[in-house]
Every structure is written in structure tokens, then in C-alpha cells.
Structure 1
Amino acid sequence: MASSTEIEWTDATWNPVTGCTKITRGCDLCYAERFSERFRGVPGHPFQNGFDLQLRPERLQQPLNWRQPRRIFVNSMSDLFHKEIPRSFIDAVFDTMEAANWHTYQVLTKRSSLMARYLRGRYDPAKAPPHIWLGVSIEDAKNAVRLKHLRAAPASIKFVSFEPLLGPVGKVDLTGINWAIVGGESGPRARPMNEEWALEIRDQCRTARVAFFFKQWGGVRPKSGGRLLRGREWNQYPDIGRQSVQLEAAE
């Protein structure tokens, strides 16, 4: 577990799994792969095997030993719902999140149908507890179907990360969604994000009363373009207590 992180919308990361495989163009320039592959073949390094999928059972209990409450991004270096991760291991991750319930967990996936199926099997007819936020990553209109899977999932707090935003997403149904993050791609070959794509999502969030967080413009480095959208930062979070958000007027 990393006790700090440069990811603006979370406090820490926890990676009981590392490594992944690419499924859509949003994966093309994956930052986690780029970082991991730097250390492939380095004896004794945690990423000696690069970005190959790897279960790390020795990390399963880490949140239980961290007593100060944190927002924790789960599997920042993988996808918890990768088809090659055994259900029993996913169960163990959820067991820890349920036990260490003083933290808030942010679980993000591109494998939205597998997540929805898992949550139905674990929680139906109830919902996942509100300290476990479940989200999907959407990079363009083609992959907005993940939002449909998320809306149908039995989760108390649902969020969407439009990052890296690679094209317009168009009109989306934000019914039941608590939080939306927008961010541009970063890295040596980062593809640019159009301001209108971000504003379209922001305006839909305002109408639907969904908390809106603008993470970054991106560029060669994550902070290259800054975080201002039309002259201001957007740092809204969902209010877990009321499962709503107090929205500020847009400038």
C-alpha cells in the first residue's frame, strides 16, 4: 500500500493485484504498464515480471493495519475484475474492504459486465456497503455502455472516470451515479483532450446533480496542462451521508 499518491482524487493506493491486459484504446498508453515494464527483469523488484498479471496475497491484509481513515484506490496497477483473477481472490479483497470499514475504497474497472455480475452474486438483493465505491472507466462514446452496466449493479456509491477522455461521450444517462471524474491522457505520446468534451460532461453532471471532479488536462506529464477548467478547479466529491452532493454554480 502506498501511504500517499499523486492521484488527485484519492489518498492512497492498494494493489493486491498488479498487471493487466489491454481491451480498448483507452489502454493503449497505460501509465501502469509503462511504469511496471521499466523494471522487468530486475531481480527482487516488485515488478520483476513487468506488467504480467500477478496476485499478491501478502498484501491482502494491508488496509487492516492502517488505522487512520483514507480514501484508497484499489488496484491502481491492475483491474480487480480481470477475467483471470479467481473469484476466491476477489472475495478475499472484498472481505478485507468490509472488515476495514473505516476506510473508503474506490474500485475502478473497464470490465463492467464482470463487475456487475460479481456484485449481484455477492450482495443481491442488498447493495455493496457505502464505503466501497464502485466505478467504471469510459474513454469515448463507444465504451459508454459500461455506464449501463454500472447503473444496473447493486452498489451504494457509483462513479465514472472519463479518463483518458479520448473523444466526446455524447448524451449519457447519469441516473443513480454519484460522482464523475474527467481527465486527459498523460505520457510521451499523450493524445489531446478537447475542452468541449469535458464541458459536455460537466454540464450533464450539473443537470443531474452529480459531483464533478476535473483531474487534469494531461500532456507529457500528468500535471503538464494543469487542472483548471474554464478558469477554476473542480474538486467535488459525493456526500456519502446523504448520497448526494452540494453543487457549486459553474462559472
Structure 2
Amino acid sequence: MADNTTIEWTDSTWNPVTGCTKVSPGCDNCYAETFAERWRGTNGHHFENGFDITLRPERLRLPMTWRTPRRVFLDSMSDLFHTDIPDAYIAQAFAVMALTPQHTYQILTKRHGRMKALLSSPSFWHLVADQGREHFTGCQEDWLAVGAMLGGKPLPNMWLGVSVEDQKWADLRIPALLETPAAVRFLSCEPLLGPVDLKRAVIPMGSERGHGLTASYVHADGCCQRRFHGIDWVIAGGESGPKARPMHPQWLRELRDQCRWADVSFFLKQWGEHAPEDHGHDRGRLILLDTQGRCWDQEEALAPHDTVRMRRVGKKSAGRILDGQTHGAIPTPT
């Protein structure tokens, strides 16, 4: 759960907090909750309290013990911006990140509101410095990175992302991400439960009353046709586990093509439990899936024209190849 990981897009995980609660459909079949709840009530086990929010202060210094630079996924077993995690504790985690610039930290959240509120506030970065001096006095205290944050510049080793499972949550979470300082901004479209149009963003409309939101086509720099308004990386993937929902190939192809058009790094993590039948899979339970995410079982004659035949073949057999290619791009910060 720390030094090694099977997550394809990172090198290590770091969990100074474990536990979480569900906030959107992407959470329905949470792998972390399933794993942790197996051990609830087991005296002395790391997950004795199941998936309840649990602070792990003994793990805060872990990245300081890693000499070799690495990409670190922060809180793979939680959400750092959960409302039950105190601001001061979050600040301690950021102090560790500031003190270990050799590592790159990938922070993923579904709590876009608290993320934006904290990381856009100078008072939070004062708290980071205060907590760092109080709890990590034995470390080399170089707070230049924190000072840069106080000046409105992001920590250079902080990659910030939001989970986006469909268009509804894209329209809610992406605008908050774009308004939050970060060296690299990324989206995790896993599990991908519907189409996502990255060529639009929800932006406030000017009016006398100041009300109203609209969806609008945006670019990164006015008329520039590169990058999606500050999004540097898109990770996509289907769902795994016993209750996994299938992912329509069209949703995936549209994300890939949008990223190619905008020169955004695209990473296909996995198909999940289900793979398209036309990818060479002719065994496993058949599911007829349309682009609205509806399953038609065996009623193929009634299904719409955009229905595809998916087979439940398991994560390993499904793999991560799309149209004959493996997509594993990871951005290089400039």
C-alpha cells in the first residue's frame, strides 16, 4: 500500500489517511472500500475500523525515507479533501510534499469544492508552513516552495486531478480544477460511465443579476488549439470487480481523439472486467451496451444502432489496448 503499487500510472502510493464516503456514481463499487471492509472488527489489523476515515500520522514521513525520485499517488485509499479530515492535517501532508521536491505527487479528489477553497487560500499556505515547522523540525527546512504558493504559484511537484465519470461530474469538477493552482492538472475518467466532452466547460455568464451557467467551447489560451483550458493529462478506464459496469468503446475513442486533437497526454489504464467482442473476445457473459450506458441483455433486436457487444472476460484478459494500440502517455511538466 506504499512502496509498491499495481496502479499503472504511478510508481508508489502514500496513504496518510484511509477511509472515505461515497459522493457520486463513480464511488458505487469502490475497490478501496471493498478491500478495507473485509477486515472490519479484526483486532489489531490496519483496517480494524473498515473504511471509516482514519488519520495515519505515523505514515506522514514515509516519502522522506524514499531517496529515489518517484511519482507518488497520494491517498489511493481515501480522499485528502474529505470534510472529516482537519485542515491542519492536510497542511501537514502538503508540508511533506514541500520538503520532498524530488518526488512528484499526484493528488486525486472528488471533493472539488474543498480542494479549490483550500489551495486557493493564502491562509492555508501559512498553515502549511506553520504545521511544517511544528511537526518536521528535524528536517531541512526550506520553505521556498511554500513561499511561492503564497505568491500564487503552485508547488512545482504537485499534480492535481479530479475524478470525472460522466458529463454531469465533468461540468461540476473540471471548472473547480481549472481555478485551482497546480503544476499539472489531470482527469481520472475511471470508471468511465458515460461520454465526456472536454471541448466544453461550465463558465459563469455575466448578467445584471449574476446568475446562470452555460456550456461553452473553450481553448487553453484564447484561440490556441492546444490543451483543454489547462488540462494536461487524461486517464481513462473501465471498472473492475464483481459489480463492474461496462464501458462503451465510443466513450473511450472520443476521449482519445479529443486528447489527440488538443495535444493532451492520454493514458488508457484498463478496459476493466468487460471488453468489446470485436477485440477478439468471443467468450464470457454477453452484454449489449448502448452509448447511453443502457444494457439490453439478449434483446438485440430492440437495441439501438449504437449498441456494442461486450464480453465479461476479467480485467487481465480485457487488457488495455484500444484499436490495436496501448496508450500510456504521461505529461512532462515544462
- TM-score (normalised: structure 1): 0.93
**Partner residue in 2 for 1:205:** 259
Q: Is the 8 A contact 1:41 1:50 kept in 2?
A: yes
Structure 1: distance between partners of 2:70 and 2:265: 19
Q: Deviations over 1:204-250 (max 9, x none)?
A: 1111111110000001754341010111100101111x2xxxxxxxx
Structure 2, gaps ≥5 residues long? 126-148, 201-227, 274-311
> 1:135 pairs with 161, 186, 192, which one?
161
> How far 1:116 sits from its partner (Å)?
1.1
> 1:225 pairs with 307, 318, 328, which one?
318
Structure 2: distance between partners of 1:163 and 1:110: 12
> How far 1:156 sits from its partner (Å)?
1.6
> 2:233 pairs with 179, 183, 190, which one?
179
> 2:187 pairs with 160, 184, 189, which one?
160
Amino acid corresponding to residue 188 of structure 2 in structure 1: S
Larger deviation, residues 119-128 vs 108-117: 119-128
**Partner residue in 2 for 1:46:** 46
Q: Is the 8 A contact 1:157 1:178 kept in 2?
A: yes
**Partner residue in 2 for 1:111:** 111
Structure 2: distance between partners of 1:139 and 1:18: 22
Amino acid corresponding to residue 236 of structure 1 in structure 2: A
**Partner residue in 2 for 1:245:** none
> How far 1:119 sits from its partner (Å)?
0.9
For the residue of structure 2 that corresponds to 1:41, the secondary structure is coil
> How far 1:172 sits from its partner (Å)?
3.7
- Summarize the alignment of residues 66-81 of structure 1 with structure 2, pairs less than 5 Å apart: 66-81=66-81
> How far 1:124 sits from its partner (Å)?
5.4
Q: How many residues align?
A: 241
- Summarize the alignment of residues 118-129 of structure 1 with structure 2, pairs less than 5 Å apart: 118-121=118-121, 122=125, 123=149, 125-129=151-155
> How far 1:125 sits from its partner (Å)?
4.4
Identity of aligned residues (%): 55
For the residue of structure 2 that corresponds to 1:44, the secondary structure is coil
Q: Is the 8 A contact 1:217 1:223 kept in 2?
A: no
Amino acid corresponding to residue 40 of structure 1 in structure 2: R
Q: Is the 8 A contact 1:10 1:73 kept in 2?
A: yes
Higher-Rg member (1/2): 2
> How far 1:175 sits from its partner (Å)?
1.1
Amino acid corresponding to residue 137 of structure 1 in structure 2: S
For the residue of structure 2 that corresponds to 1:143, the secondary structure is helix
Q: Is the 8 A contact 1:175 1:208 kept in 2?
A: no
> How far 1:170 sits from its partner (Å)?
2.8
Amino acid corresponding to residue 161 of structure 1 in structure 2: S
Structure 2: distance between partners of 1:152 and 1:88: 22
For the residue of structure 2 that corresponds to 1:236, the secondary structure is coil
Amino acid corresponding to residue 170 of structure 1 in structure 2: D
> How far 1:176 sits from its partner (Å)?
0.7
Asked whether 1:26 is paired with 2:26, we answer: yes
Q: Deviations over 1:84-136 (max 9, x none)?
A: 11000000000001101101110000011211111101335423222110000
For the residue of structure 2 that corresponds to 1:196, the secondary structure is helix
Q: Deviations over 1:20-48 (max 9, x none)?
A: 00010100000000000111111111001
**Partner residue in 2 for 1:94:** 94
